[in-house]
Amino acid sequence: MISLADQFLVLVLLINFISLGTSRLVFSIRAVAAQGVILGILPGLIHPFSWHLVGITVVIIAAKGFVIPLLLNRAVRSAEIKREMEPFLGYVPTLLLGALFTALSFGFAGKLPLYPEHQNYIFVPASIATMMSGFLILTTRRKAITQVVGYLMLENGIFIFGLLLAEAMPVMVEAGVLLDLLVGTFVMGIVLNQINREFSSLDTSRLTSLKEE
């Protein structure tokens, strides 16, 4: 089963590139939602069956796959924007950087002192590559929505790494971590809708009234 999880991680990496390369906001929200659903399935593939596992799977898929994308889509609709215009760095350079980071993370993970059982799978490189892609989106895009997408992706990368730590993290803490990240994103979604109302735009480069003179 764990090798099937590996196949899914390849899919996760592909979705990173989709989000890095697209300018359509709805599309990148959909991509990160799909990524969330895939991540929701993963724990079921690598851990033995138990009811709290089912619970966690349902919560992750519901939140990452449906609730948060819904919230983001609502913000997109009410702001009447479709595309991320003029990012700080163009799409082709970000894609190339993303490819570079992914390659580097595979090379880097090969050098890391991994637990022998984890060496044959791509959990660690996939996790690092997803975190890096998230960071790339966070830093190169102007729109608040895309920044939330970047944060979600960063969170997904951390989640992949967390899959390796089932013994160290008790279920309660794991659930707490997940819940926190979800609530955080949820609050961001609400703030997003407020920004839109105050500035009638979701462009964070317009958030400049608080500057040092």
Nearer CB in complex with other proteins: 96/213 = 213
Residue from 8, 17, 121, 199 touching other proteins (CB under 8 A): that is 199
Site size for other proteins, by CB under 8 A? 42
Residue from 55, 90, 184, 205 touching other proteins (CB under 8 A): that is 184
Residue from 7, 120, 194, 205 touching other proteins (CB under 8 A): that is 194
Which residue shows structure tokens 């839109």? 196
Residue 143: CB minimum distance to other proteins, A? 12
* Amino acid letter, residue 25: L
Judged by CB under 8 A, the chain residues 163 through 182 that form the site for other proteins are 164-165, 167-170, 173-174, 176-177, 179-181
Cβ atoms of residues 37 and 64 within 8 Å: yes
Tokens of 179: 């819940």
Burial class, 39, CB count within 10 angstroms (exposed 0-12 / middle 13-18 / buried 19+): buried
Residue 96's CB is within 10 A of a number of other CB atoms, namely: 12
Q: Does 162 bind other proteins (CB under 8 A)?
A: yes
- Taking the C-alpha atoms of residue 165 and residue 149, their distance in angstroms, rounded to an integer, is 25
Cβ atoms of residues 142 and 203 within 8 Å: yes
Q: What is the DSSP string of 24-54?
A: BHHHHHHHHHHHHHHHHHHHHHHS---HHHH
Interface stretch with other proteins, choices 7-15, 32-40, 92-100, 202-210 (CB under 8 A) = 202-210
Q: Does 213 bind other proteins (CB under 8 A)?
A: yes
Residue 187: CB minimum distance to other proteins, A? 6
- Taking the C-alpha atoms of residue 168 and residue 198, their distance in angstroms, rounded to an integer, is 44
Q: Supply the DSSP symbol for 118.
A: G
Cβ atoms of residues 116 and 2 within 8 Å: no
Nearer CB in complex with other proteins: 48/92 = 48
Q: Does 112 bind other proteins (CB under 8 A)?
A: yes
Judged by CB under 8 A, the chain residues 69 through 98 that form the site for other proteins are none
Q: Which residues bind other proteins (CB under 8 A)?
A: 112-115, 131, 138, 144, 147, 151, 154-155, 158, 161-162, 164-165, 167-170, 173-174, 176-177, 179-181, 183-184, 187-188, 191, 194-195, 198-199, 204, 207, 209-210, 212-213
